[in-house]
Amino acid sequence: MRDFAGELEERKAAGLYRVRRQISGPQQPALVSDGAPLLSFCSNDYLGLASHPELTRVAAEAMSENGLGGAASHLICGHHDAHHQLEERLARFTQRSSALFFSTGYMANMGVISALAGRGDTIFSDRLNHASIIDGCILSRARVRRYPHGDTDALETMLKSTGGHKLVVTDGVFSMDGDVAPLRQLASLCKRHDALLVVDDAHGIGVLGPEGRGSLAEFGLTEEDVPVLVGTLGKAVGTSGAFVSGPGVLMDYLVQKARTYIYTTAMPPAIAAATCASLDLIEREQARRDHLQSLIRHFRQQASAMGYQLMASDTPIQPIMLGDNWTALALSGALEERGLLVTAIRPPTVPDGEARLRVTLSAAHTWDDLNQLLAGLDESRSLLAPAAEQAV
């Protein structure tokens, strides 16, 4: 038998071993983790909606009306009114023709990419795309060409030299860097070279654009420009699941062909009902986004003044670049001793030598929360690698 235990030991020796902490109670900045209170800066609950009382109330009501389980797949007898209403609501929210509700973002990407490209086709994928996109590409059996992160010139060269059906796929907001893809340029490139553009806006929906409609809306891009939009609902939306939206013919095609849509049990209808309520809040409550943006600006000013190396991000994802795994773990540990939870992100989630602390900010954070984080970072500066320290 393969030496599984030995491989785990190797991981430990390389600082790559992962452990799960156990959270009690609702997801919010003030967490209880393995029984101890911690102030968290690592969830993707960007708007603080994951434990919003209005959403739990709607979910509870929907549950007492419709029961709990999804019970069957959508094509058998699992497609509930609540799912249908959510799809119409998502189409309106994204200002696109139609939408399809998936059980997770991982499944949405796997299903969409493998349905829309296949053997003999070519997929062009940003080098920093999310794991679920990478796996969708593999599942599709298409030829995959990865282009350097955000490099539209390199992509254009590749598109020019490739025939046949072409699909370009990118994160809208990159999950580990926090930067936004050059969506306008990508849209016009794809039009020029007859490639189908798929944007995964897992971290943009709810946060960016007017009324939180996402990064496409921020750039004024419509369904004409970007035919396929994937969004997830477990992050800023605060519930669970994912969606794809775009032209009706594509959604119809996905219902026929996306295996991760077809061969899985429908989500509990109550999740769909709560998601509709969340979209109402997102549209209505601009104050959440305004507060979040002020926190982001303040964090960037203060942390970079301390000598921390930040990335070119204006989104709630604010990585502190550290380089080696041990420095990332040491800084994360030092913060935890001060009651602050910021996880170290290591390879293979990020490229080798690019370990970092991924700070995520949320509208649920108070100014006092942020100041506690900044104080912790200030006191932990001595842990920076020598090269970074010189820059202080």
- Could you give the residue numbers annotated as active site? 175, 203, 235
Burial class (CB in 10 A: 0-12, 13-18, 19+), 12: exposed
Q: How far apart are CA 92 and CA 283, in angstroms?
A: 11
Whose Cβ is closer to ligand PLP: residue 212's or residue 234's?
A: 234
Q: Determine the longest span between alpha carbons in the chain, in angstroms.
A: 63
- Provide the minimum distance between the beta carbon of 86 and ligand PLP in the complex, in angstroms, as a whole number: 15
Site string for ligand PLP, 176-205 (x = CB under 6 A): ------------------------x-xx--
Whose Cβ is closer to ligand PLP: residue 74's or residue 358's?
A: 358
Site string for ligand PLP, 130-149 (x = CB under 6 A): x-x-----------------
Determine if 234 is a binding residue for ligand PLP (CB under 6 A). yes
Using Cβ positions, the residue closest to ligand PLP within the complex turns out to be: 105
- Which among 369, 365, 373, 364 has a CA at the least distance from the CA of 320? 373
Select from 29, 48, 105, 376 the one that contacts ligand PLP (CB under 6 A): 105
How many residues are listed for the chain in this entry?
392
Site string for ligand PLP, 283-322 (x = CB under 6 A): ----------------------------------------
Site string for ligand PLP, 324-343 (x = CB under 6 A): --------------------
- Provide the minimum distance between the beta carbon of 174 and ligand PLP in the complex, in angstroms, as a whole number: 8
Select from 43, 94, 98, 104 the one that contacts ligand PLP (CB under 6 A): 104
Site string for ligand PLP, 48-87 (x = CB under 6 A): ----------------------------------------
For ligand PLP (CB under 6 A), the number of binding residues is: 14
Whose Cβ is closer to ligand PLP: residue 104's or residue 343's?
A: 104
- Provide the minimum distance between the beta carbon of 358 and ligand PLP in the complex, in angstroms, as a whole number: 11
Long-range contacts of 188-192 (CB under 8 A, 24+ apart): 188/225, 189/152, 189/155, 189/156, 189/159, 191/225
Q: Interface with ligand PLP by CB under 6 A: which range of 13-21, 100-108, 161-169, 331-339?
A: 100-108
Whose Cβ is closer to ligand PLP: residue 242's or residue 342's?
A: 242
Can you read off the two tokens belonging to residue 275? Answer: 């998601």
- Provide the minimum distance between the beta carbon of 159 and ligand PLP in the complex, in angstroms, as a whole number: 22
- Provide the minimum distance between the beta carbon of 278 and ligand PLP in the complex, in angstroms, as a whole number: 14
Strand 242-246 to 228-232 pairing: antiparallel
Q: How far is CA 242 from CA 110, 161, 267, in A?
A: 12, 34, 10
Whose Cβ is closer to ligand PLP: residue 29's or residue 231's?
A: 231
Q: How far is CA 112 from CA 167, 179, 390, in A?
A: 11, 23, 47
Q: How far apart are CA 285 and CA 307, in angstroms?
A: 35
Quick check: 123 and 140 in contact, CB under 8 A?
yes
For every residue of 154-209, DSSP letters joined together read HHHHHHHT--S-EEEEEESB-TTT-PBP-HHHHHHHHHHTTEEEEEE-TTTTTTSS
- Provide the minimum distance between the beta carbon of 224 and ligand PLP in the complex, in angstroms, as a whole number: 23
Can you read off the two tokens belonging to residue 290? Answer: 């305004």
Quick check: 87 and 74 in contact, CB under 8 A?
no
- Provide the minimum distance between the beta carbon of 200 and ligand PLP in the complex, in angstroms, as a whole number: 5
DSSP 8-state code for residue 39: E
Q: How many helices (H) and strands (E) does the chain have?
A: 15, 14
Which residues contact ligand PLP (rule: CB under 6 A)?
104-106, 109, 130, 132, 171, 175, 200, 202-203, 232, 234, 242
